[in-house]
């Protein structure tokens, strides 16, 4: 009874704390402005099934894809055993599904154990690749410090989780032969049926019970720790990859979002539309693009929180390959960090961060003297060739290019900033409608034609 009360208290406390932190993530994502996402719903579900659930885009790089698949499938199937652990903890019973499922139970737990062994192998290889082999895309400058520690922590958590599973199952296997009344027969499990006796034969019953309970609590504790760690980790993509893929653009990769106000201005400049006599020339010019999280769409912020930091986008970026500062992965990490920073300020309710001191502190009434350009430099933004390589490579269909374009539009159209070599082109288009600085009007060649 004491164990049941302890379990319920720990489980509810950890779950409520996780819900609180996940609600902050949702709030931070919704700092972005409204974006109506329409399109083919069946196609969206198909993309989600193939890309998010089926890991389709991972298999462009076969070795890490297979290793990741071991961990991913083990994670999915381990949830079956986790459900049993939760029910056992809440009801005070032991292996509640064993008698109910019989031989099927033996098959399921054996399959989970085989997957767990494969996941262990994959985890060790990933630690080796990241820390000893030092795969180039995993050790770039933006990965210094917390990003690398975060990745390693998750891999160590995985190992501890597996230790909990095999400690619990191994000791339980030996206890079944000593006290079959309290420890139901699970059948011959693929790993624990030989690993348990090899490790724990000869131990007293009280010691075995303590070992089994330690494994049980270790497994549960790591699951609850992982749940509460997710909101602070790149591994949030485990949950957000599904909605992110569902809401990703169905348009062709090269089709960029138009800006009607700019398009109409360019048409007017080129004489393609008649000027409206009612236009108020003294009206304040609108802001173009975005300079902070609140200027981006919420889908852009969801992209940032869904980023796995795998670096495939940066690895495929031709600008990065030629030594330029641009790293699409860093752009996504910067957007997420800025969203976190704003969210923390809103939670702190600091009066100094109000635009209008007479109003409550909200996302719309927030300023702290910083924006995304405090994180992302012009050199990074203007290095982008808009080739869409980063978008094509991302395993969860994140679109760094859309964010880069919105930030670049703000710098050029609102701040009138840009590379010096671009300015003559802009001036020429404004004056003559041509990118080339020629003295004649763009359509001068057609004036002498016989029509």
| Measured CA distances, 321 to 11, 128, 246, 326, 403 (Å) | 47, 24, 30, 9, 20
SS3 annotation, 153-165: HHHHHHHHHHHHH
Q: Mean pLDDT for the chain?
A: 90
Torsion of Cα atoms, 409 then 411 then 415 then 416, to 10°: -80
Confidence of residue 269 (pLDDT cuts 50, 70, 90): low
pLDDT above 70 (res 97) = yes
pLDDT above 60 (res 129) = yes
The mean pLDDT value for 155-177 works out to 95
Burial bucket for residue 342 (CB in 10 Å: 0-12, 13-18, 19+):
buried
**Domain residue limits, the chain:** 2-30+61-246, 260-272+287-432
* Residues 219, 85 contacting (CB under 8 angstroms): yes
Q: Nearest 5°: CA angle at 15, between 14 and 18?
A: 85
Q: How far apart are CA 318 and CA 330, in angstroms?
A: 15
Confidence of residue 437 (pLDDT cuts 50, 70, 90): confident
pLDDT above 90 (res 283) = no
CATH for 260-272+287-432 is 1.10.1060.10
- Which residue, among 243, 344, 239, has the nearest Cα to 28 in the 3D structure? 344
* Residues 170, 195 contacting (CB under 8 angstroms): yes
pLDDT tens per residue across span 354-392:
999 889 999 989 999 999 999 999 999 999 999 999 999
* Residues 192, 164 contacting (CB under 8 angstroms): no
């Amino acid at each position: 009874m004491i164990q049941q009360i302890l379990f319920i208290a720990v489980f509810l406390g950890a779950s409520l704390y996780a819900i609180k932190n996940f609600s902050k993530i949702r709030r931070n994502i919704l700092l972005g402005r409204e974006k109506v996402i329409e399109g083919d719903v069946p196609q969206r579900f198909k993309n989600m099934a193939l890309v998010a659930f089926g890991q389709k885009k991972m298999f462009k790089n076969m070795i890490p894809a297979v290793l990741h698949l071991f961990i991913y499938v083990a994670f999915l199937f381990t949830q079956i055993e986790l459900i049993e652990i939760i029910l056992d903890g809440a009801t005070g019973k032991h292996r509640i599904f064993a008698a109910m499922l019989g031989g099927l139970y033996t098959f399921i737990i054996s399959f989970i154990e085989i997957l767990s062994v494969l996941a262990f192998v994959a985890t060790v290889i990933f630690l080796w690749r990241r820390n000893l082999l030092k795969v180039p895309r995993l050790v770039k400058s933006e990965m210094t410090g917390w990003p690398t520690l975060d990745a390693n922590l998750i891999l160590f958590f995985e190992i501890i989780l597996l230790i909990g599973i095999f400690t619990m199952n191994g000791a339980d296997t030996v206890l079944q032969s000593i006290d079959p009344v309290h420890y139901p027969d699970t059948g011959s499990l693929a790993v624990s049926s030989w690993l348990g006796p090899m490790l724990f034969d000869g131990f007293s019953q009280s010691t075995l019970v303590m070992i089994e309970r330690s494994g049980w609590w270790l497994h549960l504790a790591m699951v609850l720790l992982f749940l509460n760690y997710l909101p602070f980790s790149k591994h949030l993509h485990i949950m957000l990859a599904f909605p992110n893929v569902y809401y990703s653009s169905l348009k062709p990769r090269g089709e960029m979002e138009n800006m009607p106000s700019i398009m109409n201005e360019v048409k007017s400049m080129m004489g393609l539309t008649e000027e409206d006599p009612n236009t108020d020339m003294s009206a304040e010019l609108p802001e173009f693009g975005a300079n902070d999280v609140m200027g981006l769409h919420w889908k852009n912020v969801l992209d940032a929180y869904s980023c796995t930091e795998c670096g495939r986008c940066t690895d495929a970026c031709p600008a990065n390959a030629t030594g330029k500062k641009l790293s699409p992965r860093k752009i996504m990490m910067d957007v997420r960090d800025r969203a976190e920073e704003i969210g923390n300020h809103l939670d702190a309710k600091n009066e100094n961060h109000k635009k209008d001191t007479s109003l409550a502190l909200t996302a719309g009434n927030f300023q702290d003297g910083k924006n995304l350009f405090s994180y992302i430099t012009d050199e990074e933004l203007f290095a982008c060739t808009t080739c869409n390589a980063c978008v094509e490579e991302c395993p969860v269909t994140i679109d760094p290019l859309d964010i880069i374009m919105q930030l670049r539009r703000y710098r050029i159209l609102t701040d009138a900033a840009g590379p010096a070599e671009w300015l003559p082109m802009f001036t020429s288009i404004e004056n003559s409608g041509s990118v080339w600085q020629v003295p004649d009007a763009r359509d001068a060649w057609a004036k002498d034609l016989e029509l």
